[in-house]
Structure 1
Amino acid sequence: MCLFRYDDDSEPEEPDPAGPLYVPVRPGARTVAVRVFRTPLGSRTAVGFTTVERLTATLGAEQPWIRLSESVLRSLAEPLGIEILTVDPTLTAPVVASLSVSALASPKRKEPAAHEIGQAARPA
């Protein structure tokens, strides 16, 4: 669910503030950084979850998180030019498995047999 906030225009159908959120972070040497994601259309978005169970169901049990209010998360995202806050996203791409270098190499093409060269495709 995306929450949009426009200071000059309040929409009655906008939900109330989400309250304290579980926010995914990237740990650093001395601090943590809020993770930023992209919407399906490619816009950058801050993300928060209403329960730790929803966070782990979407991002996995190994994902570090911190608790932040919606207003604090918005204020952290604003200097980065991020205006969208997504709460409880459920549709995500699966985690990419690591590939070996040989798996990334292009597959070898099969050379056509002599009898296949010059033949037109036939209807089935």
Structure 2
Amino acid sequence: MARAAVWHVPVTVTGRTTSLRLFRLRDGRRCAVGFSSAGALAELLGPEQSAVELGEPALRALTAPLGVDELVLDPRLSALPVTGPADARPDAGHPASRSGARLQRR
């Protein structure tokens, strides 16, 4: 009997709590993601990204109560690349920007 595929699923770890990390599709719907290897996960989300190994049925069972029925396997980055350092912003020369000061609403 063939062994079921195991997916590397990104999670967020806070103290002793581990939570599945959910993402959004281009149309705004939430989705879960799984990667076929730890290397593929690290390549897209970075080497510091925590992950757990889950089979597809388990991942679907965990996300279904949240109303998440989309699963993306081995996703690719779809965001536009960052064009320059943060100091290249148009407001970077403004004194409030350099000091970290923020305007407050009244």
**After TM superposition, is the score higher than 0.5?**
yes
Which structure 2 residue ranges, 5 or more long, are not aligned? 95-106
- Mapped to 2, the partners of 1:66 and 1:85 lie a distance apart of 15
SS at match of 1:33: strand
- Mapped to 1, the partners of 2:36 and 2:61 lie a distance apart of 18
Deviation at 1:53, TM superposition (A): 1.0
Which structure 1 residue ranges, 5 or more long, are not aligned? 1-17, 109-124
1:33 matched to 2:33? no
TM-score by length of 2: 0.71
Residue correspondences, number: 90
**Deviation string for 1:55-98 (max 9, x for gaps)?**
01111111110101111111111111000000000123268799
What is aligned with 2:61? 75
Provide the alpha-carbon RMSD of the alignment.
2.9
SS at match of 2:42: helix
Which of 17, 37, 54 does residue 51 from structure 1 map onto?
37
Segments ≥4 residues shifted beyond 3 Å:
94-100, 103-108
SS at match of 1:71: helix
The correspondence of residues 69-108 of structure 1 with structure 2, limited to 5 A, is 69-93=55-79, 99=86, 103=89, 105=91
Larger Rg: 1
For 2:23, the aligned partner's letter is: F
TM-score by length of 1: 0.61
